[in-house]
Amino acid sequence: MVWLLVLAELLAFGLLFVSFAMARWREPVVFAQGQAELDLSTGALNTVLLVAASWAAVRAVAAFQRDHRVAGARWLLVALGGALGFLVVKGHEFAGKLGAGFDWATDSFTVLYTLLTGFHFLHVVVGAVIFMVLWWNARSGVYGPANHVAPASGAVFWHMVDLLWMVLFPLVYVIR
């Protein structure tokens, strides 16, 4: 079931990525101006946080498969920390833009930037909730070698979120 969700999400984001690339091709000056206002270091920090959370999710699933239930719960907490770290950094970026008078609908760059990063942000929120629920359940020792489908499915969802950022970050922040 999680794979159908992943496929649907990848298709939806794929359409947004293509729209962004086509709009940038049609309006290179507008996109260059919009990208010049983005903070590359913030995007890079978010990349590190997402990848760290993915690594922790993999470690959690591996721990449950080996019946290391306490370690699995701890790795889920690390993954949750990475997700929450991303939300704080991205939320700070959004707040800074709003405080500076950023108009989310000024031009095609800002509209597509808002759609892509906002939609991704919502997926990170969902991933954080998934990690929180998994961690909460893991504290009681429910996951183990015979029962690690839920953590594995959560990790698959998170890897999708991570993969989307690996396209979004260079597309929006780096490629000119």
Q: Is the pTM of this model over 0.85?
A: yes
User: In the prediction, which pLDDT does 101 show?
Assistant: 82
* Residue 106: per-residue pLDDT: 83
* pLDDT band of 31, cuts 50, 70, 90: very high
Residue 157 lies in a domain: yes
Average pLDDT, the chain: 95
CATH number at residue 53: 1.20.120.80
Percent of the chain with pLDDT over 70: 100
Residue-level pLDDT at 80: 99
| 31 inside domain | no
How many CB atoms within 10 Å of residue 141? Answer: 12
What percent of the residues of the chain are helix, what percent strand, and what percent coil, each to the nearest 5? 85, 0, 15
Check if the beta carbon of residue 40 is closer than 8 Å to that of residue 173.
Answer: yes
Does some domain include residue 168? yes
Contact 21, 165 (CB under 8 A): no
The token pair that represents 38 in the structure block: 């983005």
Q: Which residue is listed with tokens 């591996």? A: 62
pLDDT at 168 over 90: yes
Is 33 within the bounds of a domain? no
pLDDT score, position 15? 96
Does residue 29 fall inside a structural domain?
no
Residue 32: pLDDT band with limits 50, 70, 90: very high
| Predicted local confidence at residue 99, as pLDDT | 86
Task: Specify the pLDDT at position 97.
Answer: 86
| pLDDT cut 90: percent of the chain above it | 89
> Cβ of 1: how many Cβ atoms within 10 Å?
6
Say if 30 falls within a structural domain: no
Specify whether the CB–CB gap between 64 and 72 falls below 8 A: yes
Asked whether residue 164 is domain-assigned, the answer is yes
**pLDDT at site 102:** 80
Residue 81 buriedness (CB in 10 A; 0-12 / 13-18 / 19+): middle
Structural domain of 20 = 2-24+40-174
Phi, psi of 107 (to 5 degrees): -155, -175
Q: Work out the pLDDT band at 100, boundaries 50, 70, 90.
A: confident
Which pLDDT tens digit goes with each residue over 40-71? 999 999 999 999 999 999 999 999 999 999 99
Domain count, the chain: 1
Which pLDDT does position 162 carry in this prediction? 97
